[in-house]
Amino acid sequence: MTRLSVNINKVATLRNARGENNPDVVAFAVACEQLGAQGITVHPRPDERHIRYSDIPELRRVVTTEFNIEGYPSEEFLELVTANAPEQVTLVPDKPGQITSNSGWDVRANADFLSTVTARLKDYGIRVSIFVDPDPAQVAAAREVGADRVELYTKAFADGYAADRDAAVAPYVEASAEAARCGLGVNAGHDLNLDNLRFLAMRLSLLNEVSIGHALIADALYLGLPETLRRYLLQLNN
């Protein structure tokens, strides 16, 4: 079964627009879990334009499934996650001020840095996933630096899905197969939605978890949260 982790960044963006606590991101995370989500994902950025660093301890207290914190492993970020011990940390090569993640790591070029960060996180018992493009060489490199999983950056798949879904998914099939050979778990995320999710899940030989935020929150505006989560879970497990 592929697990669904709901990225609640967009809920925090809406909250921050008014400067108050409506919507309440902590209550929203609890509601997602009660409705069947198997994880909660957040991606705190240095400017705190959505999830704030102060949200993390509050979320850690209530998330009972799997808490996944994404981000660039600056010293401030590493201190935050080691103090709150999520089940998983996803290392992302974001630059400060970047609107959204738009590429995976060049793991080989950053091997020394990522090895040090990964070892530090695993000392705290935290599973480490590295955000990579669907490139078998980068998947293999992630294993070499000590990662437990890779998260495949799925924007290229989503962009190419309508024109030729078989061609769009082919690099991800290859990357997933390489992960299996390396003994790595596989996560996936970015621009996954109700149109393309089932096909991706069916075609990958290994897919532990998907992290979905923007599309899921947008769908919830039209469908309501219970129906939205029901549909996403159905895409993964039907």
Catalytic sites, residue numbers? 43, 70, 190
Helix axes 111-123, 75-84, angle to 10 degrees: 20
Question: 3 phi and psi, to 5 degrees?
Answer: -85, 145
Q: Are 91 and 105 in contact, with CB atoms under 8 Å apart?
A: yes
Nearest to 158 by CA among 191, 189, 132, 188: 191
| Residue with the two structure tokens 């919830």 | 220
CA 71/CA 73 separation, integer angstroms: 6
Strand partners, 127: 88
CA 238/CA 35 separation, integer angstroms: 17
H-only helix segments in the chain? 9-18, 25-34, 55-62, 75-84, 111-123, 136-144, 155-160, 165-182, 197-203, 214-223, 225-237
The two three-digit tokens of residue 90, written as one number? 């996803």
Peptide bond into 23 cis (omega under 30): yes
